[in-house]
Amino acid sequence: MVYAVVLAARDKRIDWTVLGAVGIVEVGLITQLVVGIAQYAGTDRDVSGPFFIGYLIGSLIILPIGAFWALAESSRWGAGALAIACLVIPIVELRLHDLWAV
């Protein structure tokens, strides 16, 4: 899902389709935060709490800021800026996965 957004946002001007997709991902991230905290509270695995929760919370603010920044520039560079923000999400997901796997 996240990769689809990245591909969609690339070389495109910002339109409602992209913004809608970003919104859906954001809802997914909020869900992930809630589920993640619940799982962290219930696990006996040696997961680094501050980093894990930090990434969960940090992931929430990336897309709104990226979208705000991209909307102020109605050209392909605006869409590119949003694509950067979207690209960060899979990186955050990978880090979360690594933190959980430790």
Query: Cβ(85)–Cβ(70) under 8 Å?
Result: yes
- For another protein, give the closer residue by CB, 9 or 21: 9
The HSE-up count of residue 52 (CA atoms within 13 Å, CB side) is 22
CB atoms within 10 A of CB 17: 11
- Is 75 one of the binding residues for another protein (CB under 8 A)? yes
- Is 36 one of the binding residues for another protein (CB under 8 A)? no
Residues 3 and 82: their CA atoms lie apart, in Å, by 13
Q: For the chain, state the CA radius of gyration.
A: 15
The span of 6-14, 23-31, 37-45, 83-91 binding another protein (CB under 8 A) equals 83-91
> Cβ of residue 17: shortest distance to another protein, in angstroms?
20
- Is 84 one of the binding residues for another protein (CB under 8 A)? yes
Residues of this chain that bind another protein (CB under 8 A):
50-51, 54, 58, 61-62, 65-66, 69-70, 73, 75, 77-78, 80-82, 84-85, 88
